[in-house]
């Protein structure tokens, strides 16, 4: 059995920089037509110059593949002039509260100061992507941040807001309430709960932010995604860290899922008899929501056993060593 | 500054077996007059012969130290005759639900079948120590198990029941409700929450069962312990695993706290101006509850910096590398 996905889009991707960028980008540029590239490098991508430099680094790896990086900038107070200059070079602005995830130290701590920039984003029709977590108790952070998202949605009704990597039922409720709020969902939040991370033995490769939640949260996300919820897009949040930063005390947050995303999703949608809705989750909804016209790129998957490699370079992928029932035809691993 | 603790008791201790037993037992036999030794070896300690063999292995390490292991047997259906034979050789029977922690596979899954044994324990005045967790969602397990503890307490009013390593406010409420229920508390549940384990980077050496909980749970335990709650005893649940079982995918549950327990408790009680209540937490309450007459053993602590070693043999202790403000005078590390 085979399926073809047309122009798969990864609406939330960490490609990192330097050697890591070179080591881990191939699965993404092979399997996807386009990906929204996160700006949280060691030195955050928050100027036009940095966007252009980073885009060139990524494009130098693309070679014969059809793949378009959709660049983002790290939220700060931008002037109207800066955002006008940036607009044609970026897909969106990404807002991190300070300290909530990898390399977010320069994120926002004073939310009263962000409104002038939101005003300009709204005017220029630049989407706002939000890592919606507070610094509260780890399981409550997403829920605690929701009033902030709601306030933005109310005050800037024409601002397109994407709640990234949602992990709770609470976020789904807010998604219903506001026309201008959308969401991305990862593979790991569809597959796992805190029981998988820490209920038996502790599994560092399942550790990410937002942390995986309760079974009822996972089920609610899965139900919404499999039902074809039109405001929910796939965003892997694939976030590689080298093995020695994962299998050690002080394990970094992030699941490396780029190489397994399509096979896992095919398996999941097939198991739940929802295969007909995979195309929209992986591309259609994002095209409609954002008015994207991605590169035409058919990606074929075969129903054949795919043993997930133990490592890609220095990085252990999610489900390393497991055998999935679908593989991407054009990949040799 | 110096303090002397008289006959400290560790009411819940894992000494393991073989090379591990030899490698990690010294801090316990140096710092404590006695410890309740858990029976969850690879082959559970559940017969008189196994108790005697295990006790001999432990006693062979005691040499000149004054230290008495209080042996336990792994709960199963025991006959009256078996328990009569065991009574003078054991301190208590330890009940594990199946699958809830390290080497608990042979634990109880059919709770309707345990009552005849509880009846005999009650008659023979043998305490029942309970690892009170279900196989539910990791944060709810202790709370979900409480009705089972309550049922035991109601049906066997003269059975002395100890809820081991309690980690929630809910358990404190049950403790208040039944005269025959008591509890032990560990160092890690007084110090840490899930935020310390997984709120920033993931910390495998803070991973234990029951998992550390919410800030309000930790605070409630701390308040009860520092206030001198007479039904709460110290039980370290010190549970060593070799480094390669902790700093790896599939990290085993357990914090190795035996070497740091007394310094950490001295620091904690001093900081909260409760030093006068440490003696009862560390020994007095257990003596009263269980009618114990421990070996007379003064253990002196000095207020001097103690840098916790990175490893004891192959085991990384909790707070490795941290500098504590108290040290056990008789230990050279």
CATH number of residue B40's parent domain: 3.20.20.140
* Chain B residues with beta carbon closer than 8 angstroms to that of A138: 194-195, 198-199
pLDDT digits 0-9 by tens, A238-262: 999 999 999 999 999 999 999 999 9
- pLDDT (average), residues A42-57: 98
Contact A201 B247 (CB under 8 A): no
| A130-143 per-residue burial string, b: 16 or more CB within 10 A, e: under 16 | bbbbbbebbbebbb
> pLDDT at position B279, please?
98
Query: What is the reported pTM?
Result: 0.96
Does the beta carbon of A243 lie under 8 angstroms from any beta carbon of chain B? no
**pLDDT-derived band at A333, boundaries 50, 70, 90:** confident
Q: Which of A193, A198, A321 to mutate to test the interface with B (most CBs of B within 10 A)?
A: A198
pLDDT at residue A252, rounded to an integer = 97
Residue A297 forms part of a structural domain: no
The tokens for A141 are: 């952070």
Average pLDDT, chain B: 96
Question: With an 8 Å Cβ cutoff, is B137 touching chain A?
Answer: yes
Residue contact A198–B205, C-beta within 8 A: no
Interface size A-B, in CB pairs within 8 Å, comes to 71
Q: Which residue in the list A237, A244, A280, A333 is annotated as catalytic?
A: A237
Q: Is residue B279 part of a domain?
A: no
pLDDT number for residue B198: 98
Task: Give domain status of residue A273, yes or no.
Answer: no
Residue A70: which H helix or E strand, with range?
A: strand A68-74
Which residues, in sequence order, are CB contacts of A289 under 8 Å at separation 6+? A160, A182, A230, A231, A233
Region A114-132 average pLDDT: 97
Query: Could B201 and A316 be called an inter-chain contact, meaning their C-beta atoms sit closer than 8 Å?
Result: no
DSSP B105-118: TTSBS-GGGSHHHH
pLDDT band of A105, cuts 50, 70, 90: confident
* A140 flagged as catalytic: no
Please indicate, yes or no, if residue B224 is contained in any of the structural domains: yes
Taking CA–CA distances from A197, the nearest residue in chain B reads B250
Per-residue pLDDT band at B90 (split at 50, 70, 90): very high
| B202–A contact, CB cutoff 8 A | yes
pLDDT, residue A115, reads 95
Given the residues B223, B237, B244, B333, the one annotated as active site? B237
Say what the pLDDT of residue B133 is.
Answer: 96
Residue B82 domain-assigned (yes or no) = yes
Q: Which helix (H) or strand (E) holds A161?
A: strand A161-163
| Number of separate domains in chain A | 1
User: Could you read off the pLDDT of A304-330 as tens digits, one per residue?
Assistant: 999 999 999 899 999 999 999 999 999
- Does A39 score more than 90 pLDDT? yes
Give the residue from B162, B164, B165, B167 showing the smallest Cα distance to B139: B167
Task: Please indicate whether, in this complex, the C-beta atoms of B214 and A248 are within 8 angstroms of each other.
Answer: no
- The candidate with the shortest Cα–Cα distance to A224, out of A291, A266, A147, A280, is A280
Assign B161 to helix, strand or coil: strand
What is the C-alpha to C-alpha distance for residues B70 and A64, in angstroms, rounded to an integer? 71
pLDDT band at A290 (very low <50, low <70, confident <90, very high): very high
- B192 is a domain residue: yes
* B103 confidence band (pLDDT: 50, 70, 90): confident
Instruction: Give me the pLDDT at residue A56, please.
Output: 97
Closest-CA distance of chain B to residue A256, Å: 14
Which member of A138, A205, A214 has the closest CB to residue B199?
A138
Q: Where are the alpha helices (DSSP H) in chain B?
A: 18-24, 26-31, 48-59, 80-86, 115-124, 141-155, 169-177, 187-191, 194-198, 215-226, 243-246, 261-271, 278-279, 285-290
Q: Is the pLDDT of residue A101 over 90?
A: no
Host domain of residue A67: 10-259
In this prediction, residues A263-269 reach a mean pLDDT of: 98
pLDDT beyond 90 at B101: no
Write out pLDDT tens, residues B154-187: 999 999 999 999 999 999 999 999 999 999 999 9
Which of B97, B105, B201 has the highest number of chain A CBs within 10 A, making it the mutation to test binding with A?
B201
Query: Measuring CA to CA, which residue among B140, B133, B207 is closest to residue B165?
Result: B133
Report the pLDDT averaged over residues B196-221.
98
Contact call for residues B22 and B58 (beta carbons, < 8 A): no
Per-residue pLDDT, A150: 97
pLDDT of B94 above 90: yes
The reply to whether residue B251 touches residue A207, judged by beta carbons under 8 angstroms, is: no
- Judge whether B333 lies within some domain: no
pLDDT at A19 over 90: yes
Q: What is the mean pLDDT of residues B23-50?
A: 97
- Helices (H), ranges, chain A: 18-24, 26-31, 48-59, 80-87, 115-124, 141-155, 169-177, 187-191, 194-198, 215-226, 243-246, 261-271, 278-279, 285-290
Number of H-type helices and E-type strands within chain A: 14, 13
Task: For residue range A54-74, list pLDDT tens digits in order.
Answer: 999 999 999 878 999 999 999
Evaluate whether residue B270 is within a structural domain.
no
Q: Which of A138, A214, A247 sits opposite B249 (nearest CB)?
A: A247
Contact B251 A202 (CB under 8 A): yes
Which residues in chain A are contacts of B98 at CB distance < 8 A? none
As a whole number, mean pLDDT of residues B58-82 equals 94
Q: Tell me the mean pLDDT in the region A112-125.
A: 95
pLDDT of residue B252: 97
Task: Find the CB nearest A201 among B193, B201, B252.
Answer: B252
Structure tokens at B175: 């403790």
Give percent of chain B with pLDDT exceeding 70. Answer: 100
Closest CA–CA distance from residue A181 to any residue of chain B (Å): 27
Q: Does A211 touch chain B (CB under 8 A)?
A: yes
């Amino acid at each position: 059995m085979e399926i073809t996905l047309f122009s798969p889009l990864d609406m939330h991707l960490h490609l990192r920089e330097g050697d890591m960028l070179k080591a881990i980008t191939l699965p993404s540029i092979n399997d996807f037509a386009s990906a929204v590239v996160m700006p949280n490098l060691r030195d955050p991508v928050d100027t036009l110059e940095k966007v252009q430099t980073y885009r060139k680094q990524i494009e130098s790896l693309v070679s014969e593949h059809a793949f378009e990086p959709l660049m983002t900038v790290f939220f700060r107070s931008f002037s109207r002039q800066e955002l006008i200059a940036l607009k044609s070079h970026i897909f969106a602005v990404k807002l991190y509260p300070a300290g909530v995830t990898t390399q977010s130290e320069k994120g926002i701590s004073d939310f009263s100061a962000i409104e002038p920039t939101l005003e300009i984003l709204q005017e220029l029709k630049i989407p706002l992507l939000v890592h919606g977590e507070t610094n509260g108790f780890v399981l409550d952070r997403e829920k605690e941040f929701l009033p902030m998202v709601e306030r933005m949605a109310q005050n800037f009704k024409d601002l397109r807001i994407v709640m990234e990597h949602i992990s709770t039922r609470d976020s789904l409720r807010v998604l219903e309430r506001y026309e201008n709020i959308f969401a991305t969902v990862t593979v790991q939040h569809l597959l796992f709960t805190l029981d998988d991370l820490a209920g038996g033995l502790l599994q560092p490769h399942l550790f990410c932010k937002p942390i995986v939640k309760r079974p009822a949260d996972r089920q609610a996300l899965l139900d919404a995604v499999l039902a074809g919820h039109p405001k929910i897009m796939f965003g892997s949040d694939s976030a590689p860290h080298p093995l020695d930063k994962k299998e050690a005390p002080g394990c970094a947050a992030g699941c490396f899922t780029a190489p397994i995303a399509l096979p896992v999703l095919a398996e999941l949608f097939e198991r739940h008899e929802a295969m007909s809705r995979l195309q929209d989750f992986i591309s259609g909804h994002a095209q409609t929501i954002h008015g994207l016209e991605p590169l035409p790129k058919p990606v074929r998957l075969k129903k054949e056993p795919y043993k997930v490699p133990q490592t890609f370079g220095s990085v252990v992928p999610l489900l390393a060593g497991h055998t999935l029932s679908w593989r991407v035809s054009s990949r040799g691993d």
